[in-house]
Amino acid sequence: MKITIIGTGYVGLVTGACLAEIGNDVFCLDVDQRKIDILNKGGVPIHEPGLQEMIARTRAAGRITFSTDVAASVAHGDVQFIAVGTPPDEDGSADLQYVLEAARNIGRTMNGFKVIVDKSTVPVGTAQRVRAVIDEELAKRGLAGSAQHRFSVVSNPEFLKEGAAVDDFMRPDRIVIGIDEDEPGVRAREMMKRLYAPFNRNHERTLYMDVRSAEFTKYAANAMLATRISFMNEMSNLADKVGADIEAVRRGIGSDPRIGYHFLYAGCGYGGSCFPKDVQALIRTASESGHNLRILEAVEEVNGRQKDVLVNKVTAKLGEDLRGRAFAVWGLAFKPNTDDMREAPSRRVIGELLARGANVRAYDPVAVTEARRVFAMDLEAAPEQLERLTFASTQDETLIGADALVIVTEWKEFKSPDFVHLKSVLKTPLIFDGRNLYELDAMTELGIDYHAIGRPYAQPSELPADA
């Protein structure tokens, strides 16, 4: 099939590459010439495991094209995926200007039947707005009601985890398609069924529903996952007060099959491009409908507070004034296997350490370049603080001369460090762990002063400094 992908961000690139991988002819459009140049030179503007290799294969096979040519993109695809950004407005609602502009471009140049697929995460009712914009553009061309220019707007939300997006697309647990039951919708359903047939060979994974329900499903899913995270963070804060170990609690409740273990880890808050934005957008949608989502309002509030928990542990141990103190920070991206810094807890943690006068040397396996850009913006009004932030090329390099280690992102390479070496390099054997990576007994035996999230304080034993 001939497919057009509008937008080459996480969702667009992964969708385009995966659909090309299974044999489709894919045209990827972006108005950002820089992105297209990178892609046409064999690079990828984002970090996503397996994506660059897949794009290289499909380009070599002639099944994927990257361009800024809007008219060519509309002419190419029988199915047009809109996968552009929907950043939050100041009021928390999703900004649909890029979605609607993509729809206008389709309406301005389309000739022949098109299936327009909303792949971006969009509020309930967006498909109706997309349909109205295309109708408006067709009317301007004198083509309103033209049988040759009929179209159907479909909702096909993505359920991709950054860092595992290629695997999630190629092995989906469900494919949600919202579609109208009119004549264009029947035709669109057959086309979408054919497109996704390779993913349904072992068993049917596609869930068909009305368009508004499909749009709602994406927000409800992300809101549920964000709620689980904030719930466990609330429990971890109480565990700190009463002397319980949140890791033992997690195992105790996660073993209940009605609850399970997924998204049940306490930490220093969630970030990224989805959960914060989607929770805010759903709260805004409810408000516009005259309804309050009290649980989600609390989820958002809890997550905001949780990003301060790690720094609060630092100041409880070392005092509010951190001038003259140096900290090693491991992890900058909001989660492992990505370079995404959007809403990353590290931005709050490092910002608070710098504001209290500390020096910070940070390391991340892939996000350092993006982190430099983001912190330059975050600290534009505080150049003196920016001067006290440096980035290391290895995790060990961050430790030299540091008073303590602060762990913010749970990259695999951080899970089994050489603790003897770590102790010998740090000024004091002090770790603040925002992801609960290490065992309390091991830290005690090693003589490490270990402060985690929702776990009892690991009192170091009286061991020699070089033990």
Q: What is the pLDDT of residue 399?
A: 97
Asked if the domains at 2-209 and 307-451 fall in one CATH topology, the answer is: yes
Consult the annotation and say whether 271 binds a ligand.
yes
Q: Where do the domains of the chain lie?
A: 2-209, 219-305, 307-451
Helix (H, G, I), strand (E, B) or coil at 405: strand
Beta strands in 37-161 (DSSP E): 64-67, 79-82, 114-118, 151-155
- Is pTM beyond 0.85? Reply is yes
The residues carrying an active-site annotation are 274
Task: Reply yes or no on whether the pLDDT at 465 is more than 60.
Answer: no
Consult the annotation and say whether 317 binds a ligand.
no
The mean per-residue pLDDT over the stretch 28-42 comes to 96
pLDDT digits (tens, 9 = 90+) for 346-380: 999 999 999 999 999 999 999 999 999 999 999 99
DSSP 48: -
Q: What is the pLDDT of residue 458?
A: 61
pLDDT digits (tens, 9 = 90+) for 222-274: 999 999 999 999 999 999 999 999 999 999 999 999 999 999 999 999 999 88
Q: Please, what is the average pLDDT of the chain?
A: 95
Q: What is the pLDDT of residue 466?
A: 43
pLDDT digits (tens, 9 = 90+) for 283-318: 999 999 999 999 999 999 999 999 999 999 999 999
CA 217 to chain centre: 17
Consult the annotation and say whether 216 binds a ligand.
no
CA 32/CA 45 separation, integer angstroms: 11
CATH of domain 2-209: 3.40.50.720
Q: What is the pLDDT of residue 464?
A: 41
Q: What is the pLDDT of residue 202?
A: 85
Q: What is the pLDDT of residue 90?
A: 73
CATH of the domain spanning 307-451, picked from 3.40.50.720, 3.40.50.300, 3.10.100.10, 3.30.450.40: 3.40.50.720
CA distances from 46 to 9, 69, 221, 357 (A): 8, 22, 24, 33
Task: Reply yes or no on whether the pLDDT at 462 is more than 80.
Answer: no
Task: Reply yes or no on whether the pLDDT at 419 is more than 70.
Answer: yes
Task: Reply yes or no on whether the pLDDT at 87 is more than 80.
Answer: yes
pLDDT above 90 as % of the chain: 93
CA 106/CA 266 separation, integer angstroms: 45
Q: What is the pLDDT of residue 92?
A: 76
- Under CATH, domain 219-305 is a member of which superfamily? N-(1-d-carboxylethyl)-l-norvaline Dehydrogenase; domain 2 (1.10.1040.10)
The mean per-residue pLDDT over the stretch 196-217 comes to 95
Consult the annotation and say whether 161 binds a ligand.
yes
Consult the annotation and say whether 335 binds a ligand.
yes
